[in-house]
């Protein structure tokens, strides 16, 4: 992906304990706070349409790898 402008991005991870293990949920937020929120529609227009799908696929791979690392500790 070509970098054009730096955007504010937040990654939130939520962990839910279940009987069979942990459920790891991720939430990615892109956009500004305050008056900068006026630019958010433009940001959404400029982002690739398949970005959400690509990030979800990436998270599935990385979280699977993370579980293997944690188990081996």
Per-residue HEC secondary structure of 3-66 comes to CCCCCCEEEEEEEEEECCEEEEEEEEEECCCHHHHHHHHHHHHHCCCCHHHHHHHHHHHHHHHH
Residue 17: strand pairing partners = 22
Residue 14 has pLDDT above 70, yes or no: yes
pTM: 0.58
Tokens of 37: 């929120």
Summarised one tens digit per residue, pLDDT across range 19-35 is 988 788 888 888 888 88
Mean local confidence (pLDDT), 44-52: 83
Tokens of 41: 């529609």
Domain limits of the chain? 9-72
Residue 1 has pLDDT above 70, yes or no: no
């Amino acid at each position: 992906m070509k970098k054009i402008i730096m955007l504010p991005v937040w990654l939130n991870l939520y962990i839910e304990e279940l009987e069979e293990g942990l459920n790891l949920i991720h939430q990615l937020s892109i956009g500004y706070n305050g008056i900068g929120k006026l630019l958010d529609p433009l940001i959404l227009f400029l982002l690739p349409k398949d970005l959400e799908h690509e990030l979800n696929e990436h998270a599935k791979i990385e979280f699977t790898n993370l579980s293997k690392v944690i188990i081996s500790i």
